[in-house]
Chains A and B, each alone.
Chain A
Amino acid sequence: MSLQVDNLTVYYQTLRGDVQALEDATFSIADGEIMGLAGESGCGKSTLANSLIRLVPPMRFVRGQVRLDGEVLPIDDARRMSDYRFSRLSVIPQYAMNALNPTRKVGKMVAELLGSKGVDFAAMIPELKRRLDLVELSHDVLKMYPIELSGGMKQRVVMVLSTLLNPSLLIADEITSALDVSTQKAVAEMLVGFRDRGFVKSLIVITHDISILYQIADTILIMYAGQLAEKAPTDVIIRAPRHPYTKLLIASLPEVGVRYAKRRLSGIPGRPPLLLDPPAGCRFRERCSVAFEKCLEAPPFVELEPGHFVACWKELGEDADA
Chain B
Amino acid sequence: MLTLEHVSKVYRVGTFGGRALVAVHDVSFDVRDGEVVSLIGESGSGKSTIGKMILRLIPATSGRIVFNDVDISTLKGPALKEYYRRVQGVFQDPFSSYNPIFKADRVFRLIRDEFFPTIAPSEWQGRVEDALRAVGLNPGQVLGKFPHQLSGGQLQRFLIARALLLDVEFLVADEIISMLDASTRVDVLNLLADLKSRGLSILFITHDLSLGYYISERAVILYQGCILEMGATERIFGTPLHPYTRMLMASAPRLDKKWEQVEIELRGKHLESAAGCVYYDRCPEATRDRLCRTQRPALVAVDDDHFVACGRYA
Check A255/B186 contact, CB under 8 A, given A181-B209, A185-B264.
no
The answer to the question of B66 belonging to the interface, with a C-beta cut-off of 8 Å to chain A, is no
Distance in angstroms between the alpha carbons of A241 and B215 in the assembled complex? 27
- The residue in A185, A261, A271 that gathers the most chain B C-beta atoms within 10 A of its C-beta is A185
Check A215/B211 contact, CB under 8 A, given A181-B42, A185-B253, A249-B183.
no
The interface bits of chain A over 284-321 (1 if a CB of B lies within 8 angstroms of the residue's CB, else 0) are 00000000000000000000000000000000000000
Contact A267 B186 (CB under 8 A): yes
Shortest A229–chain B CB gap in Å is 13
- Which residue of A has the minimal Cβ distance to B214? A254
Contact B185 A252 (CB under 8 A): yes
Contact A258 B213 (CB under 8 A): yes
The answer to the question of B67 belonging to the interface, with a C-beta cut-off of 8 Å to chain A, is no
- Which residue of A has the minimal Cβ distance to B181? A40
Stretch of A77-85, A113-121, A195-203, A206-214 on the interface side: A206-214
The answer to the question of B102 belonging to the interface, with a C-beta cut-off of 8 Å to chain A, is no
Shortest B69–chain A CB gap in Å is 30
Contact A252 B253 (CB under 8 A): no
A residues 238-281 in Cβ contact with B at 8 Å: 238, 248-250, 252-261, 264-268, 271
- Which residue of B has the minimal Cβ distance to A245? B183
The answer to the question of A14 belonging to the interface, with a C-beta cut-off of 8 Å to chain B, is no
Distance in angstroms between the alpha carbons of A121 and B189 in the assembled complex? 51
B residues 238-282 in Cβ contact with A at 8 Å: 247-249, 251-256, 258-259, 264, 266-267
Distance in angstroms between the alpha carbons of A256 and B189 in the assembled complex? 14
The answer to the question of B207 belonging to the interface, with a C-beta cut-off of 8 Å to chain A, is yes
DSSP majority for the A interface? loop
Interface residues on A, range: 35 or more
The interface bits of chain B over 182-197 (1 if a CB of A lies within 8 angstroms of the residue's CB, else 0) are 1111110110010000
Contact A210 B266 (CB under 8 A): no
Distance in angstroms between the alpha carbons of A249 and B184 in the assembled complex? 10
Shortest B221–chain A CB gap in Å is 12
- Which residue of B has the minimal Cβ distance to A153? B266
Shortest B93–chain A CB gap in Å is 13
The answer to the question of B287 belonging to the interface, with a C-beta cut-off of 8 Å to chain A, is no
Contact B251 A266 (CB under 8 A): no
A183 CB contact (under 8 Å) in B189, B214, B254, B266 = B266
The answer to the question of A87 belonging to the interface, with a C-beta cut-off of 8 Å to chain B, is no
- Complex contacts, A271 vs chain B, CB 8 Å: 151
Distance in angstroms between the alpha carbons of A252 and B211 in the assembled complex? 12
The answer to the question of A136 belonging to the interface, with a C-beta cut-off of 8 Å to chain B, is yes
Contact B213 A209 (CB under 8 A): no
B42 CB contact (under 8 Å) in A182, A250, A267 = A182
Contact B248 A182 (CB under 8 A): yes
Shortest B237–chain A CB gap in Å is 6
The answer to the question of B99 belonging to the interface, with a C-beta cut-off of 8 Å to chain A, is no
The interface bits of chain B over 287-301 (1 if a CB of A lies within 8 angstroms of the residue's CB, else 0) are 000000000000000
Distance in angstroms between the alpha carbons of A265 and B237 in the assembled complex? 19
Contact B253 A260 (CB under 8 A): no
Contact B189 A260 (CB under 8 A): yes
Contact A265 B186 (CB under 8 A): yes
- Complex contacts, B207 vs chain A, CB 8 Å: 180-181
The answer to the question of B210 belonging to the interface, with a C-beta cut-off of 8 Å to chain A, is yes
Contact A181 B251 (CB under 8 A): yes
Contact A256 B215 (CB under 8 A): no
The answer to the question of A152 belonging to the interface, with a C-beta cut-off of 8 Å to chain B, is yes
Contact B214 A181 (CB under 8 A): no
Contact A208 B256 (CB under 8 A): no
Contact A212 B184 (CB under 8 A): no
- Complex contacts, B190 vs chain A, CB 8 Å: 260, 264-267
Check A260/B258 contact, CB under 8 A, given A249-B183, A254-B211.
no
- Which residue of A has the minimal Cβ distance to B40? A181
- Complex contacts, A261 vs chain B, CB 8 Å: 193
B182 CB contact (under 8 Å) in A212, A215, A252 = A252
B residues 166-188 in Cβ contact with A at 8 Å: 181-187
Contact A259 B213 (CB under 8 A): yes
- Complex contacts, A265 vs chain B, CB 8 Å: 186, 189-190, 214
Contact B248 A254 (CB under 8 A): no
Contact B256 A257 (CB under 8 A): yes
Contact B255 A180 (CB under 8 A): no
- Complex contacts, A256 vs chain B, CB 8 Å: 209-210, 213, 237, 249, 252, 254
- Which residue of A has the minimal Cβ distance to B44? A180
The answer to the question of A149 belonging to the interface, with a C-beta cut-off of 8 Å to chain B, is no
Contact A238 B187 (CB under 8 A): no
Contact B184 A267 (CB under 8 A): yes
Contact A182 B181 (CB under 8 A): no
Contact B183 A254 (CB under 8 A): no
Shortest A274–chain B CB gap in Å is 11
- Complex contacts, B43 vs chain A, CB 8 Å: 151, 180
B residues 214-236 in Cβ contact with A at 8 Å: 214-215, 233
> What residues of chain A have their CB less than 8 Å away from a CB belonging to chain B?
40-41, 136, 138, 151-152, 180-186, 188-189, 208-212, 214-215, 238, 248-250, 252-261, 264-268, 271
29 contacts between A and B (CB under 8 A): A152-B266, A180-B42, A180-B207, A181-B42, A181-B208, A181-B252, A182-B247, A182-B248, A186-B264, A208-B182, A210-B182, A210-B255, A214-B253, A214-B255, A238-B255, A249-B183, A252-B182, A254-B185, A254-B210, A256-B249, A257-B213, A257-B254, A258-B210, A258-B213, A260-B214, A264-B190, A266-B186, A268-B184, A271-B151
> What residues of chain B have their CB less than 8 Å away from a CB belonging to chain A?
42-43, 151, 181-187, 189-190, 193, 207-211, 213-215, 233, 237, 247-249, 251-256, 258-259, 264, 266-267
User: Which 10 A-B residue pairings sit nearest by Cβ, starting from the closest?
Assistant: A211-B253, A180-B42, A268-B183, A185-B251, A267-B187, A267-B186, A40-B181, A254-B214, A260-B193, A265-B186
